[in-house]
Amino acid sequence: MIDNGKLPPLLLLHPDDNILVARRDIAAGERVDLDGETFTIPKAVELGHKLARRDIAADARVLKYGAPIGSMKAAVARGEHVHMHNLRSDYIPSTTRDGH
Amino acid sequence: MSTATSTLPMRGWLRKDGRKGIRNVVAVAYLVECAHHVSRLIVQKSGADDVHLIGFPGCYPNKYALEMMKRLCTHPNVGAVLLVSLGCESFNREELRRHVHASGRPVDLLVIQQSGGTSRTVNAGIDAVRKMRAKIIEQQPVPMALDELVIGTVCGGSDGTSGITANPAVGRCFDWLIEQRAACIFEETGELIGCERIMASRAITPELGREIEACVDKAANYYRIMGYGSFAPGNAEGGLTTLEEKSMGAYSKSGSSPISGLIKPGDVPPRGGLYLLDVVPDGEPRFGFPNISDNAEIVELIACGSHLILFTTGRGSVVGSAISPVIKVCANPDTYERMTDDMDVNAGRILQGAELDDVGREIYELVQKLAAGELSKSEALGHQEFILTYKQFEPIGPACLPAA
């Protein structure tokens, strides 16, 4: 039953979502299915991280599990990494070890 | 919804208050940090896995700490208690001793300053523990049913896989346990910021829904004043970006049952159902962060009567707990590979095609196996972490526990 190779590497958690989650580590240049189209991953992405499902404008809400998880600090293009550098909390800012 | 049909024979030690424990441990409790080393030596030299160390480090009085120690020392998994006091601290040792005594448990109190110092107290403590163990080992366990169980859940070291695999699998297990009228407790409000409205809509009364929203507001306000949300660097390294994203993932541990009540540390659920535990202190922030680490939350879940804890982790926590066993549900398949010896369940296999229901069922059966005497991984490895610090709470209001 468990066959990692055949499973799509990107996971859509809810139909309303504008991000996808990496089901495993994905290498740069890997060709994946993105909403029915073949898409070449521009930059390696790690398991559990998020990619933009479509272009998302600055200040737009990001939806995961069909629920808002923050707003974009800057616009992001389809297939790009969505993370600390471009997404902010609408509640309390997140912190890292560097204090950013 | 699918159901988990299998039920396995469980057993528990019947206590005077009618509750049953799935373990029969002797708790050695220090009542100030100054009595910690002596207590630790007593536990170590007793040389038995069922002698657990708990305690409160502070010298100043605190109502919450006294209440927590009362609840913990009379937890159904505890068969007997040895209290160790230095002598000059403000902890109300006599009140705690009377409370434990009234619960029908063997209890002893050693005051280091009166016992003649470290060595004499340690020797007296070892002797006291030996006598108490001999006494409680005679007690025979009786059959126990799922509706007598209280199960808590917590997440620690969450990452981008937690909300997809381990947390919803625990939620599925919770749904099945609640169908069998077990009491299930989830927390923590500071990690549910962003889920307040969805959560409120699941409350069994509108008044309870409003209490839930207010309590998440309280948490958001508290964490804002502290300057940090409940979000660690490891969360970000694992793919989580914002507090509300982490919240949505954490929230799925609650499953899909209606929310029957909102409780605070030390409140025992009055009947089966799903309960939210509010761990954020009331009033102005006074004693620091609501929960300085995962074990603080685990201790509070145990003070609410939790017989065992379902701990979901993505990055890979290794902790267990004093008093109640901890089951590790690993969300991330890579972490599971790296830390297999610490993990009870590989929920990360959901990402590789396994069914959520199958993982949920594995957890559901593991709960029953532990209540039949099987040890969890962290338990077998000797993890008995414990932490209790200063807090302040007001009692819950009438809207928080509507009649069933």
pLDDT of A17-68, one tens digit each? Answer: 999 999 999 999 999 999 999 999 999 999 999 999 999 999 999 999 999 9
B164 contacts A11? CB cut-off 8 A: yes
Whole-number Å distance between alpha carbons of A19 and A17:
5
Residue B291 vs residue A6, higher pLDDT: B291
Tokens, residue B262: 């909102």
Over 90: is that where the pLDDT of B293 sits?
Answer: yes
SS3 percent helix, strand, coil of chain A, rounded to 5, is 5, 35, 60
The mean per-residue pLDDT over the stretch B359-386 comes to 98
Q: Looking at residue B402, what is its pLDDT? A: 95
Mention every residue, 6+ apart, whose C-beta is less than 8 A from residue A98.
none
Q: Quick check: B300 pLDDT over 90?
A: yes
Instruction: Say whether pLDDT at B188 is over 90.
Output: no
pLDDT at B181: 97
Q: Please tell me which of the candidates B220, B236, B334 has its beta carbon nearest to residue A91.
A: B220
Question: Is pLDDT at B394 greater than 90 in this prediction?
Answer: yes
Number of inter-chain CB pairs under 8 A, A vs B: 114
Q: Which pLDDT score is estimated for A46?
A: 96
Q: Which helix (H) or strand (E) holds B154?
A: strand B150-155
Cβ pair B239:A94 closer than 8 A = no
Contact list in B for residue A1 (CB cut-off 8 A) is 353-354
Residue B29 Cα to chain centre, angstroms: 17
**Helices B118-137 + B36-46 axis angle, to 10:** 50
Are the Cβ atoms of A1 and B354 closer than 8 angstroms? yes
% of chain B residues with pLDDT over 90: 89
pLDDT higher than threshold 90 for residue B316: yes
Phi and psi at residue B228, in whole multiples of 5°?
-140, 140
Contact B244 A46 (CB under 8 A): no
The answer to whether B169 and B359 have CB atoms below 8 angstroms apart is yes
Q: Cα–Cα distance between B404 and B365 in angstroms, integer?
A: 27
Do residues B38 and B268 lie in contact, with contact meaning Cβ atoms separated by under 8 Å?
no
B163 touches chain A (CB under 8 A): yes
The predicted structure's pLDDT at residue B10? 96
Query: Could you report the per-residue pLDDT of B71-115, keeping only the tens digit for each?
Result: 999 999 999 999 999 999 999 999 999 999 999 999 999 999 999
Q: Are B383 and B326 in contact (CB under 8 A)?
A: yes
pLDDT digits (tens, 9 = 90+) for B113-163: 999 999 999 999 999 999 999 999 999 999 999 999 999 999 999 999 999
pLDDT category of residue A1 using cuts at 50, 70 and 90: very low
Contacts of A56 (CB under 8 A, 6+ apart): A18, A62, A72, A75, A76, A82
- Give the pLDDT confidence score for residue B4 in this predicted structure: 60
3-state secondary structure of B11: strand
Could you read off the pLDDT of B21-78 as tens digits, one per residue?
A: 999 999 999 999 999 999 999 999 999 999 999 999 999 999 999 999 999 999 999 9
- Cross-chain Cβ contact B241/A93 below 8 Å: no
CA angle B382, B384, B389 (to 5 degrees): 165
Of A30, A20, A34, whose CA–CA distance to B164 is shortest? A20
pLDDT over threshold 90, residue B13 = yes
Nearest chain A residue to B250, by CA: A65
Q: Return the axis-axis angle of helices B294-303 and B63-73, rounded to nearest 10°.
A: 70
Residues from chain A contacting residue B229 (CB–CB below 8 Å): 89, 91-95
Does pLDDT of A5 surpass 70? Answer: no
CB proximity A44 to B under 8 Å = no
ipTM: 0.91
What are the tokens at B403?
A: 């009649």
Mean pLDDT score of chain B = 95
- Please identify among residues 45-64 of chain A the ones whose CB lies closer than 8 Å to any CB of chain B: 46-50, 64
Nearest CA in chain B to A81: B239
Q: What confidence score (pLDDT) does residue B190 get?
A: 85
pLDDT at A3 over 60: no
With a CB cutoff of 8 Å and minimum separation 6, the contacts of B215 are B189, B262, B276, B278, B280
Q: Which of the 8 DSSP states describes residue A56? A: B
- What secondary structure does DSSP assign to B69-101, as a single string? HHHHHT-TTEEEEEEEE-SSS-S-HHHHHHHHH
Q: How far apart are CA B399 and CA B261, in angstroms?
A: 8
Conformational region of residue B98, where left means phi above 0, alpha means psi within -120 to 50, and beta covers everything else:
alpha
Q: Count other Cβ atoms within 10 Å, centred on residue B392.
A: 14
Residue A2 has pLDDT above 60, yes or no: no
